[in-house]
Every structure is written in C-alpha cells, then in structure tokens.
Amino acid sequence: MRIGIIGAGQLGQMLGFAARGLGHECFFLDPSGDPPAAKAGPVVQAPFDDPVALSVLAEKVDVLTYEFENVPVEALRGIAGGTPIYPPLEALRLAQDRLDEKQLFERLDIPLPAYHVVDSAADLHAAADAIGLPLVVKTRRLGYDGKGQFVLRDKNQVAEAWQAIGTVPLIAEQWVPFDYEVSAIGVRGVDGQVAAYCLTHNEHAGGILRVSHAPVDDDRLTAKAHAYLSRMLEHLDYVGVLALELFVAGDALLANEFAPRVHNSGHWTIEGAATSQFANHIRAVTGAAPGPVDTVGHAGMVNLIGTIPDSARHAAVGTLHDYGKSPRPGRKLGHITVVAATGPERDAQTAVLTETVTQSSTLNGTST
C-alpha cells in the first residue's frame, strides 16, 4: 500500500523503514528541508496545515497517518477525498490539550494526579490552596519534553510562574513524588484486535526521556496499566499505536499523558520485541492484525541527546540508530538499544552507555 505520513522526523523515519520491510511505500509531509524520514521516502516540503499539500499527499496514498502530535486537527478534517486517517482524529484532538486529556482519563476511570484549570494568577493561588505545593504548572497545549512547565514550590513564585508561561491557558498539577515512571504501549487493528507490549520503565532528566528499560517485572502493575490502555483504545475506536505514560507511586498508578502515535519509550521494540512498535503501527493502519509483541530478552534504550559522541559510535554493545540530524543542545539525535539475557546484565550495559553519553555531552557543553 501507499502510506502518507504527516511529519518526517525520526519517528517517521523508523515508520518508513518498517513500512518498507512490510512491502509498503511511504510519502511524507514536513515543513523542514532534509528531515530524517527523507531516507525512507519522498517528502512534500510544506507546513503541516497547508491544505493544498495535505490534499496532494492524500491523493497519492491509500491511507494517512501522523507521527507528530501538534498537527492542526482542523486541517486534517478538511482533507477531501475520503482517504482514511488513522489514528482517529478525535484521539489527536484530545491529546493536544492537557485538560481534554485529563477529562478523558476521568471519564474512563483512569486515576490521575489532582489538577486545577489555571487562566489567571489568581487561579494559581487557588490551585495552591486546593492541591498544595509543590505544583507542576503546564501549558495546556504545545508542551513537549518538559517545555512549557514551571514547578511552583512557593506562593511567592506565582507572579514569576505566570510571567514565564501564563500567556496561554494552563493546568496546575499536584507534584507527584513518584517512585518511577512507566509507559504502556499498545496497538489496535482496524478489526479491534488489541496487543500490548510489556511495561517500559522510563528515566527522564530535565523533562527529556534519557533511558528506558523493558520489561518491568511486575504482573499486578502490568495488568492495571494494560486495563487502562485497553479502555482508551476501545473508547477511542483506535487504530494504530498508542502510548500511555504513567507515574508509579506506591500502589497507585497515575496517568500523566498519552501520545496517539509511536513513542520514544518504545524504540527498544525494534530489537527487543517480536514486532516493533513501528511495524505494528504500519500493520494497523494498513488493515493487518497486530503482530506478536513478545519480548526477545531484556531491552534497554539510551537516548543520544545534543551530540552523538564517538564513544557511543564505537560502544562495545548495542545497536546505534543515528537519525541523521545536525547536533543541537537538547535535540534527540539518535538512540542505542541493548538486548541482554538478564535484567542485571541489561542494566549494567545501559549504565555504561549512559555514563559515556553523559560525560561526552557535558564535555561538549550540551548537557541538558
């Protein structure tokens, strides 16, 4: 089949490679020149909401999907000609606004941190009174990798927080003293068949994902997270891969956010699972049933951020994925995946890789 992918970053690149492996052809739309996915198929260079470019892309392909969350939903709704778009645009719409997202979790009985809608500095005071401090204040729209966030530790900081991010609608959340973070990644086919990967343990720094480990060896937690994930997939009549990010705090599992797309915390599935998240997304949007999601060992993924040091290129273990992007502080340039026979072996390997990557980043002044 011919697949149109909106967005041509590294997620598009890996989707494109997976599609090629399954005998499909991809066409991309992206505003940037020479994006990572250009290695996987032709790119129409235009803004995401350019109606002409979207129609040209839609006419060329059998199905459309997206790898980028901030594509204007209205522009996609406006595509004429009836080319199917998966995942459903309602999922994209809900994921674009943290309030809609939280209200979806509430409707589906998925526990989440206490929150307060904030449209003024006075609302921030009210949120602090209602929820307590610290509060994590986030822009409702267009936030990613911890951008558009402010941790309010003291009411004296209200003016500062408001000045920093308060020109747009906000959400204030209870600061969760979590034990660790996990993501639940699953896929649903056109016929409603669901498959969920084992839970992934994620470590962030400065709001950016650094390291993922899978599987998380906790059956109770996994069953709970998978129940939440299935609830979302069914409710949204979803087609494709969806990632749900959760905080683990004692016995509680609290939803943070979801992404209606393949996810950085699922990159390990390329080497570490029977079918990668990318192949499963492509399978779903082209009408095939999900492929098996069993793990093939204990996987770890280390993100390469800001720079890809020579030491990472010559590491004794792991598979390097270089997205071909130019270095820039805080930018995700690639990742390395290791797959080991045991969890401790995997942890030792990712610890060495993380040390190497962090040291080189700091030396190059690109630590974030």
Residues 137-196 that bind ligand AMP (CB under 6 A): 143, 146, 173-176, 181
* Amino acid, single-letter form, for residue 174: Q
Binds ligand AMP (CB under 6 A): choice among 30, 67, 101, 257: 257
Give least dist CB 155 to ligand AMP, A.
18
Contact flag: residue 204 with ligand AMP (CB under 6 A) = yes
Binds ligand AMP (CB under 6 A): choice among 124, 136, 255, 315: 136
Give least dist CB 8 to ligand AMP, A.
23
Give least dist CB 310 to ligand AMP, A.
30
Contact flag: residue 207 with ligand AMP (CB under 6 A) = yes
Give least dist CB 277 to ligand AMP, A.
18
CA distance 107 to 252: 18
CA distance 61 to 72: 20
Indicate the burial class of 82 (C-beta count within 10 angstroms; 0-12, 13-18, 19 or more). Answer: exposed
* Amino acid, single-letter form, for residue 102: K
Q: Mark 270-309 with x for binding to ligand AMP (rule: CB under 6 A) and - for no binding.
A: ----------------------------------------
Give least dist CB 127 to ligand AMP, A.
12
Q: CA-based diameter of the chain, in Å?
A: 59
Closest to ligand AMP by CB, 5 vs 248, is: 248
**What letter would DSSP give residue 330?**
T
Contact flag: residue 256 with ligand AMP (CB under 6 A) = yes
Q: Mark 107-126 with x for binding to ligand AMP (rule: CB under 6 A) and - for no binding.
A: ------x-------------
136: three-class secondary structure by DSSP:
strand
Token pair of 26 as six digits: 């991809």
Closest to ligand AMP by CB, 140 vs 226, is: 140
Residues 222-251 that bind ligand AMP (CB under 6 A): 245
CA distance 74 to 68: 15
**Sheet hosting strand 115-118, strand order edge to edge:** 115-118, 170-174, 135-139, 149-152
Judged by CB under 6 A, how many residues of this single chain contact ligand AMP?
14
Token pair of 292 as six digits: 């098996």
CA distance 10 to 334: 8
| Cα–Cα separations (whole angstroms), residue 316 to 121, 191, 310, 338, 349 | 52, 43, 12, 10, 9
Give the residue nearest to ligand AMP (CB): 176
Give least dist CB 314 to ligand AMP, A.
31
Give least dist CB 289 to ligand AMP, A.
31
Do 111 and 246 form a contact (C-beta atoms < 8 A)? no
Chain residues binding ligand AMP by CB under 6 A are 113, 136, 143, 146, 173-176, 181, 204, 207, 245, 256-257
